[in-house]
Structure 1
Amino acid sequence: MNVVIALIALVLLSIIWLVLDFSLGLKKHLASSTQKETPILHGDLDIFPHGKKLFTDYFAEIRAAKHHVHVLFYIIKNDPFSQEFFQLLKNKAQQGIEVRLLLDQLGGLKVKRADIQALKQAGVQFAYCNRIRFPFLFYTAQVRNHRKVSIIDGKIGYLGGFNIGKEYIDQDPKLSPWRDYHLKITGESVNFLQSEFLIDWRIATGENLQRDTFYFPKLHQGSVRHRLVPTECGQLEGFQIRLIQKAKRTILIGTPYFIPSKKVLNELLTALGRGVNLTILTPYTADHILVQEASYRFLRVLISAGAQVYQYKKGFYHAKVIVIDDKVCDVGTANFDNRSFFLNKEINCYIYDRPFIERLLSVLNQDILDSELMSLENLNKPNVGRAVKEAAAQAISFFL
């Protein structure tokens, strides 16, 4: 009996500690975070939905770098493709090019210490960002730097959903082909990407490089109107709500994880109520446990209200995109889930250019053709295993 009481007390104390840790950690984070976005900028944008084509281009631009290569990824795996990437960075550093690699601490768990040491010995400046820190161990473990950003010579930027690992170039049998959207950006907004990278670098290392004009060359104005929005600490929810509120005819959402907040779900239902057509594109195959089951309770409500939900079947769908009325689209690093809304550091590109949006829609329309329409009948079929998973997913959906 004493053992049972002790276990109950331990569980209660653990819950109290987790709640206090998270709430106090969030309070501290809110006090230090600021909301920002660029004005409308002009640049030239290209989009890559295939990893092999993206990394062929990306690696070529790194090889051609003359001054510096700044890289931030959420995940780097331990596999031959990751080793190829590391070797490329080492080669550039050995040529005398400044190379900085910033990696999320938890996303980089599979990177070996020996690889980090080899990078440093070759001259690559390496740092982990968003480290788990005392006293708010639980909170800081949840707040990840989910940005995937690269800047080359201060003139070329990359931003999107791809990380570094074999699955991203279609070498994982379960998740191939990998479908994702990644932007290549040139023009004046690259300076903002550079600034955001250097902010994350300063937070991780204490080294402040933002006043060095070397990193901020004068850049041309391109033809594509867009703005960049970095978010953290609950800021993204408001941006997505305001985007949904602008819709008059159509909303198209592509995401690997559909776990909206209550406010965002209500806004989608309001849009359906005023006659907006809502289409949601998600994967048929999941890459993480419980993420699909966490989405089902939201999808049932939306399908019942008139939304169309498609499950991508030609591989794994990992893209992050929203298109409103064919007038504005959002492509970036943020998923349509609570983790991206409230926890992760993200950065998205909002694009206001009809020709580019039409190009993106042609990609999305093909992805919908490669998908299967989800039915309310299938979602509501009795399934004990799924019901158990849904209950478990609901309990922890905020952290999935």
Structure 2
Amino acid sequence: MTLFKLNQHNSIWALLCGILLLSGCATPNPSVPDDFEANFQKRDYQAKAYIIPRANEAFAHRIELVRQAKSSIDMTYFSWNGDTLGLSLLNEISKAADRGVKVRLTLDDLLVFNDKWLADIDKHPNVQIRIFNPFNSRKMGWAGRAFDFQIHQQKLDNRLHEKYFNIDHQYMILGGRNIGDEYFGYSKAANFYDLDVLFSGDVIAPFAVNYERQWHSEHLVPIAELIHVKKDINDTRYFKKAFNKATKKHAEIIADIEHTINTMPAAQWIDVTVSPVFDSLKKMENRLPYFRQRAEIAIQDELANAKEAVISTPYIVPTDGDFSVISKLTKQGAKVQLVTNSSASNDSLFIPAYYEEHRKTLLDMGVDIFEYKDTAKNDDHFYHGDTYYHNKTIILDSRVSYVGSSNFDPRSDFINVEFGLFVHSAAFAEKLHHYLFAQQSSLYWQVSKNAEGEIEWQSQQEVLKSNPNYGSWHKLPDWVFRKMDGESEL
């Protein structure tokens, strides 16, 4: 998710606030020392992994795991919506807390305003909610956030982008999904095509250590210090009102979730070796690319010898104008496939303006591009509205795969706090490739240059010479956005 996501219900206001935010954001990336992170050494762990094959099952597994929890639930998310799924999962978490399960939830503050329904849950004696790098403005909506950001950009720019779900230190879900209807195919307006992987085994331990490090850092503030509700732990009026309204209005969603829990197949585990990579909270001070550098070191041998690479990211943005990893791969003769959003399907306000130029560069480098259609209909979504691509993964030579929170952009490299892991398994890579491409003809445009050097978009027998559903009316705003020179913040 980018910092500047389009608000579907207030698009004009979101655009104005995004411009105000971006206008103060032309912060150059810092110079990276030649020996930066030279002492980093990867560690391998054993695990079992299961790629959750359907969006509804990704949510159903979370509910099922919470219902089975015996001692602890630790979670980190960039966003947690107060919609049907967000409130339903909180309700299950509250029930687990009633059973004595200790619950901790870390949330980034960008999309947390004065959400009293969330603060209500924090009052439970077995629940603690902390907010990462909070804004000063809480009750003035995006207008307050935009002006707050203008004044305190250096402090507020860093966001926590991890997505982490740990039950009893026995099971862990990693991937690209936040918590909300649109991440699991249950939004009537728009949904994300995304990925979650369920893990068990030794690899959970280092993620738990990373969580503890963050939980006790100065960057997390208890939600009770930010959002004030009555102290009576039995008075959860805001949560109850929101939950009852959502579940009554969307009873069909609740019924489908329960049906999915009762009918989804058992996990088909794959034995894997994994190499986790974590960011450093020092990034909050110096903006250096700890995660990116550590990730490249972790797979430096695989990158140096790669013959094939699949790079999947919702936002493809170069660092200082250079696609360094892709350039390295293509120069050594590797076949590179890029799977990303089309300009029309992108949920970002600004990235398409830059991608319109970068598409040509990538094609000239020999990259095979697959762009997600803005008309795509994923067969595992309960509702079908607009769709956006949100998968974040890499597959090298059908043997090594990446699962995590990081996008392929400067914001993930230099600003956001990220994590992920590399999975060493041909069987896992095969399952992941199938997950991405099983619906290729219905989900993607294959983009290439013809003999005349013109860009073409092809899907089955259909060939287009112009950008699908992204017409000339975008040229002026795209030109304006590029002139704002805020690509380092995307």
Per the TM superposition, whether the score is higher than 0.5 is yes
How far did 1:124 drift?
1.5
Q: In the aligned structure 2, how far is the partner of 1:146 from the partner of 1:34?
A: 25
- Which of 280, 304, 317 does residue 259 from structure 1 map onto? 317
- Which of 129, 134, 144 does residue 159 from structure 2 map onto? 144
SS at match of 2:43: coil
- 1:129 — aligned with what? 132
Task: Supply the AA of the counterpart residue of 1:334.
Answer: S
Distance 1:81 1:194, change over 3 A: same
What is the TM-score of this pair, normalised by structure 2? Answer: 0.67
Q: In the aligned structure 1, how far is the partner of 2:293 from the partner of 2:220?
A: 30
Cα deviation per residue 1:10-43 (whole Å; 9 max; x = unaligned)?
xxxx99xx689x78x989xxxxx99966511111
Contact 2:133 / 2:221 at 8 angstroms: preserved in 1? Answer: no
Q: In the aligned structure 1, how far is the partner of 2:305 from the partner of 2:320?
A: 19
- Which of 85, 91, 104 does residue 95 from structure 2 map onto? 91
- Which of 207, 213, 219 does residue 199 from structure 1 map onto? 213
- 1:219 — aligned with what? none
Q: Does 1:120 align with 2:92?
A: no
Unaligned runs of 5+ residues in structure 1 are 1-13, 28-32, 208-221
How far did 1:338 drift?
0.9
Contact 2:350 / 2:481 at 8 angstroms: preserved in 1? Answer: yes
Contact 2:79 / 2:108 at 8 angstroms: preserved in 1? Answer: yes
- 1:230 — aligned with what? 278
How far did 1:56 drift?
0.6
1:34-183 correspondence to structure 2 within 5 Å: 38-109=42-113, 112-121=115-124, 123-132=126-135, 137-176=152-191, 178-183=192-197
Q: In the aligned structure 1, how far is the partner of 2:407 from the partner of 2:169?
A: 27
Cα deviation per residue 1:73-132 (whole Å; 9 max; x = unaligned)?
1111121211111111111112211111111111333x7124312432464211101224
Contact 2:25 / 2:486 at 8 angstroms: preserved in 1? Answer: no
Unaligned runs of 5+ residues in structure 2 are 1-19, 32-36, 137-147, 223-269, 284-288, 377-386, 457-464
- Which of 438, 441, 464 does residue 366 from structure 1 map onto? 438
- Which of 331, 339, 343 does residue 415 from structure 2 map onto? 343
Q: In the aligned structure 2, how far is the partner of 1:83 from the partner of 1:35?
A: 44
- Which of 270, 276, 279 does residue 337 from structure 2 map onto? 279
Q: In the aligned structure 2, how far is the partner of 1:34 from the partner of 1:179?
A: 36
1 or 2, which has the higher helix percentage?
1
Cα deviation per residue 1:212-266 (whole Å; 9 max; x = unaligned)?
xxxxxxxxxx831111101253123334555584243111111111112147513
Q: Does 1:398 align with 2:401?
A: no
- Which of 287, 290, 294 does residue 350 from structure 2 map onto? 290
SS at match of 2:362: helix
Cα deviation per residue 1:306-346 (whole Å; 9 max; x = unaligned)?
11111123232201001111121111110111111111111
Contact 1:247 / 1:324 at 8 angstroms: preserved in 2? Answer: no
386-395 vs 77-86, which moves further: 386-395
Cα deviation per residue 1:255-305 (whole Å; 9 max; x = unaligned)?
111112147513422322332111111123111212222223222111022
Distance 1:318 1:84, change over 3 A: same
Identity across the alignment (%): 20
Contact 1:73 / 1:148 at 8 angstroms: preserved in 2? Answer: yes
What is the TM-score of this pair, normalised by structure 1? Answer: 0.81
Q: In the aligned structure 2, how far is the partner of 1:292 from the partner of 1:54?
A: 29
Q: In the aligned structure 2, how far is the partner of 1:49 from the partner of 1:153?
A: 23
Q: In the aligned structure 2, how far is the partner of 1:266 from the partner of 1:65?
A: 44
Distance 1:230 1:368, change over 3 A: farther
Task: Supply the AA of the counterpart residue of 1:70.
Answer: D
SS at match of 1:223: strand
Distance 1:58 1:275, change over 3 A: same
278-287 vs 370-379, which moves further: 370-379
Contact 1:175 / 1:287 at 8 angstroms: preserved in 2? Answer: no
Q: Does 1:353 align with 2:425?
A: yes
SS at match of 1:336: coil
Q: In the aligned structure 2, how far is the partner of 1:56 from the partner of 1:361?
A: 23
1:327-342 correspondence to structure 2 within 5 Å: 327-342=399-414
- Which of 354, 358, 365 does residue 305 from structure 1 map onto? 365
With CA pairs under 8 Å and 6+ residues apart, which has the higher RCO, 1 or 2?
2
Task: Supply the AA of the counterpart residue of 2:368.
Answer: Q
Contact 1:254 / 1:322 at 8 angstroms: preserved in 2? Answer: yes
- 1:212 — aligned with what? none
372-381 vs 57-66, which moves further: 372-381
167-176 vs 311-320, which moves further: 167-176
Task: Supply the AA of the counterpart residue of 2:479.
Answer: A
Q: In the aligned structure 2, how far is the partner of 1:237 from the partner of 1:388?
A: 34
Cα root mean square deviation, aligned: 3.3
Task: Supply the AA of the counterpart residue of 1:399.
Answer: E
Task: Supply the AA of the counterpart residue of 1:388.
Answer: L
Task: Supply the AA of the counterpart residue of 1:182.
Answer: D
Contact 2:58 / 2:184 at 8 angstroms: preserved in 1? Answer: no
- Aligned residues, how many? 363
SS at match of 1:246: helix
Q: In the aligned structure 1, how far is the partner of 2:481 from the partner of 2:53?
A: 30
Contact 2:402 / 2:421 at 8 angstroms: preserved in 1? Answer: yes
